[in-house]
């Protein structure tokens, strides 16, 4: 049985997890980046167009964004 951590969630044994690698270059280190979307003021009803940053994880070596890190809507 796993003991809960301070936030009430079960602790996870890191040995039971699977490493993710870049789909392009097989590198295993990722960094946070942003996809930037623009929403028309006509769509939002705002006075100006809106800029929407979407956080994603990208390969620290080649910059590729694995499909698993992309929003399903894109």
Q: Which residues of 42-74 are buried (b: 16+ CB within 10 A; e: fewer)?
A: eeeeeeeeeeeeeebebbeeeeebbeebeeeee
- Confidence class of residue 4 from pLDDT cuts 50, 70 and 90? low
The model carries a pTM of 0.73
- Cβ atoms within 10 A of the Cβ of 22, count? 19
Q: What is the pLDDT of residue 43?
A: 92
pLDDT in tens, 6-65: 667 788 899 999 999 999 999 999 999 999 999 999 999 999 999 999 999 999 999 999
């Amino acid at each position: 049985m796993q003991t809960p951590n301070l936030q009430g969630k079960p602790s996870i044994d890191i040995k039971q997890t699977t490493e993710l690698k870049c789909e392009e270059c097989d590198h295993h280190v990722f960094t946070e980046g942003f996809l930037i979307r623009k929403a028309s003021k006509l769509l939002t009803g705002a006075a100006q167009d809106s800029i929407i940053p979407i956080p994603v994880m990208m390969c620290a070596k080649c910059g590729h964004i694995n499909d698993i890190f992309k929003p399903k809507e894109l």
